Structure 1
Amino acid sequence: MAIVTVVSIIGLWMAEFYLSSLWTLNSKGFSELSHRLPYWDFTNLWAGSRMAMDGHVALLFDADGYRAALRGMFSPNLPNQEWSYPPNILLLGVPLATLPILPAYLIWTVGTVLCLWLAIRPLRLGAALELAIVLSPAVIWNSVFGQNGALTAALLIGGLAAAPKRPLLAGVLFGLLTIKPHLGILVPFCLLASGNWRAILAAVCTSVVIAVATGLFFGFDVWHLFLTETRPLMTAIMEAPYPQPYQYNAITVFFTARAVGFGLGPAYAVQAVATVASIAAAAWLWRPGRLVSHQERVALTAVLAILATPYGYTYDTIGVAVAVAILATMVSRPPRLILAICWLWPFVAHLFTHGGYCLGVLIPLFIAGWMLLSVWTRGRKAQFSGEPSLA
């Protein structure tokens, strides 16, 4: 209990420090923390959606034109930003863009955290652990960045949690996750391994409906422009020489390989190994007959999703917070101090990276390794003792 209290106090202090720094503005109206508008990445969703509303959706796919439009909206001193999302996220952004940016930002931030809370409710963790997740450093850091990590975690975890008993709902959530498709790499393999054809069909149908709706509202050429303009731009950003300022919060195998001196080819090779291993682990985990609770399966898959993608940041690690919460309830778990470090990690990962130690990916690696070993060991013991496995 003492370690939980201490960690909570540290977490709240760090949250207050970062959030107050974020909203302390300099003479140019930029945040002292980010040197950008305090809405940070939400600025792109709001402004890009407003451009689309005004009939200028093509600007989203013209980096120079988009930056000029942003500076015309906000400030001539605004640092370079770029539109990085698939166009279907405009279906979420346009309603928000009808409001001034501050209330839109508050609705987005509070609303996506509420979605996260609703997504973890079926895991039946109890009020205290649910609160620990929605107020975790990963969620706070997501709010500091004005990012969509709480929403994408809600869609992934909610879909995985619902898949066995509510496959149609799961498929709809997975279809919505196409706003950030690289976080859903493992989903098809989980559904195939479990034979959940209804969820697969629902996901495909939802994705098609969303793609068509996006085309009808904003023009079908947005999909072509996304593939020919936005995707190469984001690939170039991901492949930029290390270090770049935005890479300090990176937390994937690919970025870690770049940090230790690997070139693009070797870094992609290491990431490919991690991706294939994550797919194999997820498929193994979702096959019927594993001696694992559904809570563990969902949380572990959310952690593996971070290891499977080359592009991810600390605000994408909410799945780690869920896994830590589940591990805290188990008899076979890491020491509580280790769990506390894993929970707090998103607040401090960039400090290590600034110091030349890109260690961010070690936390999801450790959590995934511990949970996989626990499941495998439990299964082996059950096999030798003749105990029945869990479906």
Structure 2
Amino acid sequence: MKTDAHWLNRERLTMYPRIFLAVFLVFGLLWLFLLKNMSDLKWVPFGADFITFWAASHLALTGHASDAYNIRVLFKAQQIAVPASQSIYAWFYPPSFYLVVLPLALLPYLAAYWAFMLSTLGCYLLVLRRIFRGNTAMWCLASFSGLWLNLFCGQNAFLTAALAGAALLTIERRPFLAGLFIGLLAIKPHLAMLFPVALLAIGAWRTLITAAVTAITFMAIGTVTLGTAVLKAFLASLGDARLVVEYGTLAWKKMPSVFAFMRLLGTPVTWAYAIHFVVAVMAVIVVWRVWRHCRNRNLRGAALMTATFLVSPYVLDYDLAWLAFPIAWLALDGLRTGWLRGEREVLVAAWLLPLLLAPIAGALKLQIGPFVLCSLLWMTYRRATAAASMTGALASDSHAD
């Protein structure tokens, strides 16, 4: 592979992350300064989506867990946390995630926010530290827009990314532990859809069975703890979640899926689903082939975590905190084997995607997420194919000797 001089040299790789980090810090401080009664100028509460987690916890602790799926009741609970907030957020999570947020309302809103975000951020960083170390890498992570976006949104992408990353790091040596992590990821089932594909590709039956048992057990515990009405309300809410995605109640400009790309262009729902399905099938095939034929753990993980955003139509910009993992794995592979033309630009685009996704879609009515994600998946597939070919060649030479 080519290793010629590149514009993204060590000096720029050291300087740019520091500039971005300074910008995020200044923006954060300015945003805090402009808050009034814990809401910004658009009446969005501090922590944004986190207010839903706190409100659901409050309803459950007061014996009304199933009411979290009622938008009017949930909004009243949200105003207990931040009375000035006028933003409306819905709750579509399964009973298993309810168990995660259940203790939050035992704390005041701000304390609960920091407890949840810092603890899940700690898990996220702990898993990433298993992949890379070094000052340059840590500066790139600290200034990664996906990290800051999830922090500002008060969302759970640190937790889901940590679970997915931990599972991918432990599949080979600790299959039961990997299955436990995958089963716990069922708190957001649409983000776990590709794990069965990968596990079947390598015949990891122990991990697959453990994941299924964990997911079912976790769901059952949540249902028993909170009542069967919660499970019924969750299942009934899935239709509302579908409508929210299909008709843009959740802004398509914040959704890096092929479905959102098509809807933003004005494509009818049926055709948007059809085109999304075609791309999703192609992504599934890529994951299957990478896991079936390539033994490089880094490339397997990068393929699965990237393709997840091309399979589910219901993904949002804060979920792109996941991209820290494929970016890290592909960067390590590039440093080890050399770079092909355009690969470092793809990694930079993926690193910037959470920041640029919504502004570009808002200005141009064009969702760039699928283009960047497909480029990242193609880069991974090309490297995995080369690695598999090299392994096959080495095996053939070994047999010949």
Q: Same fold by TM-score, threshold 0.5 exceeded? A: yes
CA deviations on 1:317-336 (whole Å, 9 max, x unpaired) are: 23322222233331125454
Amino acid at match of 2:21: L
Aligned counterpart, 2:240: 233
Size of the aligned set, in residue pairs, is 383
- Distance of 2:314 and 2:215 partners within structure 1: 22
Instruction: Name the residue aligned to 2:309.
Output: 306
Matches within 5 A, 1:9-24: 9-24=18-33
Is 141-150 or 274-283 further displaced after alignment? Answer: 274-283
CA drift of 1:272 comes to 0.8
Task: Please state if 1:261 is matched with 2:269.
Answer: no
> Which 5+ residue runs of structure 2 have no aligned equivalent?
1-9
The structural deviation recorded for 1:67 is 1.9
Report the residue type matching 1:112 in the other structure. Answer: T
1:116-131 alignment to 2 at 5 Å? 116-124=124-132, 126=134, 128-129=136-137
Is residue 343 of structure 1 aligned with residue 351 of structure 2?
A: yes
For residues 21-36 of structure 1, the aligned pairs below 5 Å read 21-27=30-36, 29-32=38-41, 35-36=43-44
* Letter in structure 2 aligned against 1:186: L
- Counterpart of 1:236, as a letter, is L
Q: Which residue of 2 aligns with 1:284?
A: 289
1:347-362 matches, within 5 Å, as: 347-356=355-364, 357-362=366-371
Q: CA deviation at 1:133?
A: 3.2
Higher mean C-alpha displacement, 4-13 vs 140-149: 4-13
Q: SS in structure 2 opposite 1:123?
A: coil
Shift in alpha-carbon separation, 1:172–1:383, aligned structure 2, 3 A: closer
Deviations, residues 121-158 of structure 1 (Å, cap 9, x unaligned): 43355564355335521111111110111111111111
Task: Name the amino acid aligned to 2:46.
Answer: P
**RMSD of aligned alpha carbons:** 2.3
In structure 2, distance between residues paired with 1:343 and 1:381: 29
Alignment map for 1:53-132 (pairs within 5 Å): 53-75=61-83, 78-124=86-132, 126=134, 128-129=136-137, 132=140
CA shift at 1:106, angstroms? 0.9
Q: Deviations over 1:203-249 (max 9, x none)?
A: 12211221121122100221111111x211211110115xx573322
Q: Which residue of 2 aligns with 1:146?
A: 154
Instruction: Provide the rounded CA distance (Å) in 1 between the counterparts of 2:286 and 2:113.
Output: 37
- SS of equivalent residue, structure 1 residue 9: helix
Contact preservation (8 Å) 2:81, 2:109? no
Contact 1:86 1:179 in 2 (8 A): yes
CA distance in 1, matches of 2:116, 2:289: 36
Change in 2 beyond 3 A, CA 1:24/1:192: same
1:274 aligns with 2:279: yes
TM-fit CA distance, 1:181:
0.6
- Where does residue 176 of structure 1 map in the other structure? 184
* Identical pairs, percent: 25
1:328–1:296 CA distance, 2 compared to 1 (3 A): same
How has the CA–CA distance of structure 1 residues 338 and 372 changed in structure 2, closer, same or farther, with 3 Å as cutoff? Answer: closer
Q: Name which of 307, 322, 327 aligns with 1:324.
A: 327
Question: Which has the larger displacement, 122-131 or 358-367?
Answer: 122-131
Contact kept, 8 Å, 1:254 with 1:268, in 2: the verdict is yes
Which SS does the other structure have where 2:33 is aligned? coil
CA deviations on 1:165-201 (whole Å, 9 max, x unpaired) are: 1111111111111111101110111111111111112
> 2:253, 2:260 within 8 Å by CA — same for their partners in 1?
no
TM-score by length of 1: 0.90
1:373 aligns with 2:376: no
Asked whether the equivalents of residues 54 and 78 of structure 2 are also in contact (C-alpha less than 8 Å), the reply is no
Q: Is the 8 A contact 1:133 1:325 kept in 2?
A: no
CA distance in 1, matches of 2:312, 2:223: 27
> Given the two structures, how large is their TM-score scaled by the length of structure 2?
0.88
Unaligned runs of 5+ in 1: none
Distance in 2 between the 1:14 and 1:303 partners?
27
